[in-house]
């Protein structure tokens, strides 16, 4: 199964949060590029290789939402 996917660049000074939900047949092998490793790094992140993502509770605290 192949799908073209794209979005317009965010040119504002604000965060844009989006979610993609995709499905595939259970008998197809998963693509490991789209799963986090144990060290928190995401292999499929083309533009920010090696970046580590913060858990959402830490981000909420940083943004003053807790």
Place 16 in a pLDDT band, splitting at 50, 70 and 90. Answer: confident
Q: Is the pTM of this model over 0.75?
A: no
Q: What is the mean pLDDT of residues 52-60?
A: 83
pLDDT of residue 1: 54
What residue segments make up the domains of the chain, in order of their start? 30-66
Chain segment 25-48, per-residue pLDDT in tens: 889 987 776 677 777 666 665 666
Measure CA 57 to chain center: 16
């Amino acid at each position: 199964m192949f799908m073209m996917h794209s979005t317009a660049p965010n040119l504002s000074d604000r965060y844009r949060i989006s979610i993609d939900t995709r499905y595939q047949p259970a008998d197809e092998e998963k693509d490991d590029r789209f799963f986090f490793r144990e060290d928190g790094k995401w292999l499929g992140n083309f533009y920010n290789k090696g970046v580590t993502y913060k858990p959402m509770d830490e981000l909420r605290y940083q943004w003053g939402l807790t």
